[in-house]
Amino acid sequence: MTVSTIRTLPPLGPDDFLRHPALQGERYELSEGRVVMMTGASKAHREIAGSLFIRLFGLFDKRRFHVAVAELAVRVGQSVRYPDVVVDVQSDDPKGLTAVAPVLIAEVLSPSTLATDFGAKVREYTGLPSLLTYLVLSQDEPRAWVWRRGENGAFPDEPEMLEGRDAVVPLPALDGATLPLAEVYPEADPSSP
């Protein structure tokens, strides 16, 4: 996704951002008080996020968890993010627009979001008390970077990197689930150049 800053709006807090009428119907995030427009994702980006959503949706107990793709807000300090995929604890509010207690957040890399996905979002997401796993996926090849909360309650400074279609992302804190990258990355078409 391409990122651009909206310069006509003053800095906003998360509550004002979520209610602002000029920001309805478009893809925006609030990054430390700055409104940032998120524009179109590539076909590869959409397919990977969609495949991840399908895999996670089938994996988790719907009575305990809600799996959302790109439309569930995650509030973190003065930021409001819309991750590509979120696994949140189930809420009693069927009309809720924000995550209650996300346990897994996944982002698919885009050239314009690389610095944010590996910078500010790592700090923001791993600061969430409920989060167990932050997952970043390449849109160019089967590769994942995984930050998992350890038994000591802390996240590592550096992610574990897994690559190749045979790689499997273990999610031990999430009911021992696993995420085979082969189920997230579509196979290359042998007839394509």
Say how many domains are in the chain: 1
Q: Has residue 190 been placed in a domain?
A: no
In a domain, 1, yes or no: no
Range of the domain at 166: 42-183
- Alpha-helical regions (H) of the chain: 14-19, 43-59, 114-118, 120-126
Task: Indicate whether 100 belongs to any domain.
Answer: yes
Strand residues in the chain grouped as ranges (E): 2-5, 28-31, 34-39, 65-69, 74-76, 79-81, 85-89, 102-108, 133-137, 143-148, 160-163, 168-171, 177-180
Give me the torsion for CA of 85, 87, 92, 97, rounded to 10°.
-30
Q: What CATH number should be reported for the domain holding residue 137?
A: 3.90.1570.10
Residues 128-178: pLDDT tens digits? 999 999 999 999 999 999 999 999 999 999 999 999 999 999 987 678 889
Q: For 90-136, what is each residue's pLDDT tens digit?
A: 888 877 788 989 999 999 998 877 888 888 889 999 999 999 999 99
pLDDT of res. 19: 63
CA–CA gap between residue 118 and residue 66 (Å, rounded): 25
Is 142 domain-assigned?
yes
Residue 27 within any structural domain of the chain: no
* Integer CA distances (angstroms), 118 to 66, 108, 109, in order: 25, 11, 9
